[in-house]
Amino acid sequence: MATVSKAQDDTTQRSFFQELSKVLSENIRDYGMFIALFVIMAIFTITTDGIFISSRNISNLLNQTGYLAVLGVGMTLVIVIRHIDLSVGFLSGFLGAVAAIAMTSWNLPVGIVIPMTLVLGTIAGLIAGFLVAEMNIPAFVVTLAGWLIYRGAILLVTEDTGTIVIPNDTFNAIGNGFIPDIAGLPFLREQVHQLTLLLGIIAIGLFIFSEIRGRQKKMSYELEVLPMEIFIMKLLLVSGIVAGITWVLAGFNGLSWTVVIVLAVVALYHFVSTQTVLGRHIYAVGGNPEAAELSGISVKRITFAVFASMGTLSALSGILFASRLQSATTTAGTLFELDAIAAAFVGGVSAAGGVGKVTGALIGALVMTSLINGMNLMGIGISRQYMVRGAVLAAAVLFDVVTRNRQG
């Protein structure tokens, strides 16, 4: 992750702040989005007199981020292999409507509806993947066609009924429910969600453990590591942020199911993209398709896999959104694709291919949703909101281009 400090005796001669600025400037691509998120949150906290950072709003914000983060994760991989998927918004809206219809009109149990919706999403992704990989049609065109088709489809299935209200409590809990609490830990008498707190503590423990182990492993292979002071500061900073979020959430209703699902998806995609052969092949195809093909990697198969995963995640996003609204509307999914693409770019994916982390997409989605949420709290009109979001997207890509040129 960080590449700092060539020789040990070299580092000891520099002061802590020199070291810090060096680390920051060398890893600006990694840290930039965190800084952006922090600045945005600080600004909104001030301009809304603290309403933005309140437990209720943060909980709400994270739930709003869910459907977008899931799309952003899939979109990151699509952009990594140098393609784009414009159809995800209306595909997710359409599949949300299909799920609603399956429950209300076909009376299917929710345990069947959710897997069915996910499978339909995968099939939709495979179709796009087929047209891109086998037929060599540019992804832009394929998914633009998908955008039109799914937009038509969602209008078609909601034509007679208009908005379909979903009466199923289980389904609606996905977007609105919170994880159950455990019975009283003795040392806490306040109204806090104890399981959330416990999970937060476990997460911090795991994070510190894995960071220390990773550092030791790197050192044993004589790799460059962060200087000790900065390593400790990083641990404290991240632990502090996790602890803060946990405390804020525990003060309201605790972790929502949406957050649990999003974290599971991000963890899964992070694992696959960084630790498995499949993940490495995806990045290799993005970095240099010709070299990947010559190394025996099937570019076609990777393209199929990435578009199929995008389809599945679109379906998940549709489920999250329909569940959150407790209904399927005729306009569900509008502009999701652009927010997802924006989230991916803010999260550090590069249009040149081969670069970008799925964890970045989560941060990118948080940035985009924070903007919407904060500006709503401030009472800024929708017209200006679009302009601000556009400016942030442009700034993110500009940042990518500038820092890349400097590195090259």
**Contact set with other proteins (CB under 8 A):** 109-112, 115-116, 119, 169-170, 172-174, 177, 180-181, 217, 221, 223, 257, 264, 271-272, 275-278, 280-281, 283-284, 287-288, 290-292, 294-297, 354-355, 407-408
Q: How many other C-beta atoms can be found within 10 angstroms of the C-beta atom of residue 216? A: 11
Closer residue to other proteins, CB minimum distance, 275 or 376: 275
Nearer to other proteins, 39 or 223 (CB): 223
Cβ-contact 94, 265 below 8 angstroms:
no
Using the minimum distance from each CB to other proteins, give the nearer residue, 154 or 225: 225
Taking the least distance from each CB to other proteins, the nearer of 61 and 282 is 282
Q: Smallest distance from the beta carbon of 16 to other proteins, in angstroms?
A: 26
Q: Which is nearer to other proteins, 348 or 374 (CB)?
A: 348
Dist CA 266 CA 268 (whole Å): 5
The half-sphere exposure of 365 on its side-chain side, counting CA atoms within 13 A, is: 30
Using alpha carbons only, what angle is made at residue 166 by residues 164 and 168, rounded to the nearest 5 degrees? 165
H-assigned helices in 81-109: 88-104
Nearest distance in Å: CB 176, other proteins = 9
Contact predicate 211/235, CB 8 Å: yes
Smallest distance from the beta carbon of 349 to other proteins, in angstroms?
12
Q: What is the rounded distance in angstroms from the CA atom of residue 252 to the CA atom of residue 192?
A: 7
Nearest to other proteins of 55, 177 (CB atom): 177
Q: How far apart are CA 373 and CA 44, in angstroms?
A: 9
Supply the Cα-derived Rg of the chain in whole angstroms.
22
CB of 112 to other proteins, least distance (A): 6
Q: Show the tokens assigned to 339.
A: 């927010």
Nearer to other proteins, 109 or 205 (CB): 109
- Residue 348's CB is within 10 A of a number of other CB atoms, namely 24
Question: Which residue's CB is nearer to other proteins, number 57 or number 256?
Answer: 256
Question: Considering beta carbons, is residue 190 or 290 the nearer one to other proteins?
Answer: 290
314 in Cβ contact with 95 (< 8 Å): yes
Find the shortest distance in angstroms from Cβ 265 to other proteins: 12
Contacts of residue 14, defined as CB under 8 A and 6 or more positions apart, other chains included, come to 22
Minimal distance in Å, beta carbon 221 to other proteins?
Answer: 6
Instruction: With CA atoms as reference, report the closest residue to 222 among 6, 389, 2.
Output: 6
Instruction: Give the orientation angle of helix 257-275 with respect to helix 169-176, to 10 degrees.
Output: 70
For residue 396, the minimal CB distance to other proteins (Å) is: 19
Cβ 408 to other proteins, closest distance in Å?
7
Q: How far is the CB of 321 from other proteins (least distance, A)?
A: 17
Give dist(CA 327, CA 332) in Å, integer: 10
- Shortest CA distance to 318 belongs to which of 291, 336, 302? 336
